[in-house]
């Protein structure tokens, strides 16, 4: 267990925002997590992973919790349990090297295993929910462990119960995934090459990956837009017609545009980057202007995938 005071959070958020935490506490076991929750009960607390889906809007006057648990183990030939602090891509790399497949399309998504269950991360037609079997958690109030089935997590598009009715109540400690024997090397490499070609490299350019979620609209709205924009990409889903936010943003002329130190990424307009010592206000203002222009042109609301802290 490591506890530090007044520490910079620069290494703990991919946007590269140099906010400070009043207390930063890292644990190496579930028992140590219990100790920390007991020690700081009543304090403002936030559990973070790689910090790839959040934007610190200022210093955090409370306790930041982070896991140093980063191991994975096979429970049987098709089931692997990974601890919350293991980077998701590191897990996928290990599985691929061992000739296991099923998660390779999630390659290079920034973040740790715990966040995969909270955010239901996804890419290229695969979401974490497709491979998650169960999620182990610790109840912040009772300090007891609880296991959630896939159904109990109530997964949705970049969503889960851990972002709503269970928010702040449970900390994910490990995730159990279903995998299969198979060579995914080629697919993983193709995914990595595709992502690297259009997305900023984590650690080199500050960003949180995709900043906005893709919107879903009723069929009637989609039909109306297709009359005006017959080239508009769209996908029918049970949630409605999904329209890529990147296309909407690009049609509004935002690709490569800057505001202060923030910029809409020139290769992928779904991404906002810290191009030149951006402040949180720069990023928030740019995101707001992008959203407003999409609403004005298309009548569609797009919402940040990034959490403002």
Is residue 33 within 8 A of residue 136, CB to CB? The reply is: no
| Catalytic (active site) residue 305 | yes
pLDDT of 115: 93
- pLDDT (0 to 100) of residue 94: 97
pLDDT of residue 205: 85
pLDDT at 204 over 90: no
The answer to whether residues 18 and 58 touch, using CB atoms and an 8 Å cutoff, is no
CA–CA distance, 209 with 54 (Å, rounded to integer): 10
Average pLDDT over residues 199-208: 82
pLDDT of residue 201: 78
Task: Tell me the CA distances in angstroms from 147 to 27, 69, 140, one per residue in order.
Answer: 20, 18, 14
52 is catalytic: no
Alpha carbon 87 to its chain centroid, in Å, reads 12
Annotated catalytic residue, options 87, 107, 134, 158: 158
Give the span between the Cα atoms of 91 and 300, in whole angstroms. 37
Q: How far is CA 252 from CA 211, 217, 256, 286, in A?
A: 16, 18, 12, 13
The dihedral formed by the CA atoms of 32, 45, 109 and 78, expressed in degrees to the nearest 10: 40
Query: Is residue 62 helix, strand or coil?
Result: strand
Cβ burial of 149 (10 Å; 0-12, 13-18, 19+) is exposed
pLDDT of residue 189: 97
| Contacts of 304 by beta carbon, 8 Å cutoff, 6+ apart | 211, 212, 213, 287
| Amino acid 291: pLDDT | 97
pLDDT at 199 over 90: no
Model confidence at 198: pLDDT above 90? no
Q: Which of 116, 160, 174, 210 is catalytic?
A: 210
Strands 45-48 vs 60-67: parallel, antiparallel or unpaired: parallel
pLDDT at 74 over 90: yes
Q: pTM, whole model, 2 decimals?
A: 0.87
232-286 pLDDT, tens digit per residue, is 999 999 889 999 999 999 999 999 999 999 999 999 999 999 999 999 999 999 9
The answer to whether residue 75 scores a pLDDT higher than 80 is: yes
Tokens found for residue 177:
């995934």
Query: Which helix (DSSP H) or strand (DSSP E) does residue 101 occupy?
Result: strand 100-101
**What pLDDT does 26 receive?**
97
SS3 for 198?
helix
User: For 92-113, what is the mean pLDDT?
Assistant: 95
| For range 103-107, the mean pLDDT | 96
Looking at every residue in the chain, the average pLDDT score rounds to: 94
Band of residue 182 on the pLDDT scale cut at 50, 70, 90: very high
Residue 40: half-sphere exposure toward Cβ, Cα within 13 Å: 21
Check 104, 112, 127, 305 and give the catalytic one. 305
- Structural domains in the chain? 2-67 (3.30.43.10), 72-187 (3.30.465.10), 200-308 (3.90.78.10)
Whole-number pLDDT of residue 136: 98
Query: pLDDT class for 118, splitting at 50, 70, 90?
Result: very high
Number of CB atoms found within 10 A of residue 220's CB: 9
Q: Is the pLDDT of residue 203 over 80?
A: no
Task: Confirm whether 67 is a catalytic residue.
Answer: no
Sign of the C-alpha dihedral, residues 278, 113, 159, 241?
positive
């Amino acid at each position: 267990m490591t506890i530090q005071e007044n520490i910079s959070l620069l290494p703990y958020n991919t946007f590269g925002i140099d906010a400070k935490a009043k207390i930063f506490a890292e644990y190496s076991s579930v028992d140590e997590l219990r100790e920390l929750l007991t020690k700081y009960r009543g304090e403002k607390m936030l559990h973070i992973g790689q910090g790839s889906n959040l934007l610190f809007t200022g210093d955090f006057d409370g306790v930041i919790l982070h896991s140093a648990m980063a191991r994975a183990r096979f429970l049987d030939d098709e089931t692997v349990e990974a601890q919350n602090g293991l980077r998701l891509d590191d897990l996928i790399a290990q599985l691929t090297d061992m000739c296991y497949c099923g998660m390779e399309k999630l390659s290079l998504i920034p973040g740790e295993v715990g966040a995969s269950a909270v955010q239901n991360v996804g890419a290229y037609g695969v979401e974490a929910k497709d491979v998650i079997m169960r999620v182990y958690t610790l109840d912040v109030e009772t300090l007891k462990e609880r296991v959630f089935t896939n159904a109990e997590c109530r997964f949705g598009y970049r969503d889960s119960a851990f972002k709503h009715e269970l928010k702040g109540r449970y900390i994910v400690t490990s995730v159990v995934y279903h995998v299969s024997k198979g060579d995914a090397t080629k697919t993983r490499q193709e995914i990595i090459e595709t992502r690297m070609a259009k997305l900023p490299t984590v650690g080199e350019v500050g960003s949180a990956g995709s900043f906005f979620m893709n919107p879903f609209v009723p069929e009637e709205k989609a039909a109306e837009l297709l009359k005006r924009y017959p080239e508009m990409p769209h996908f029918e889903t049970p949630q409605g017609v999904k329209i890529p936010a990147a296309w909407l943003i690009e049609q509004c002329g935002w690709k490569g545009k800057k505001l202060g130190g923030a910029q809409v990424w020139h290769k992928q307009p779904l991404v906002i980057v810290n191009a030149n010592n951006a402040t949180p206000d720069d990023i928030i203002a740019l995101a707001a202007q992008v959203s407003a222009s999409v609403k004005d042109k298309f009548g569609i609301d797009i919402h940040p995938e990034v959490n403002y802290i």
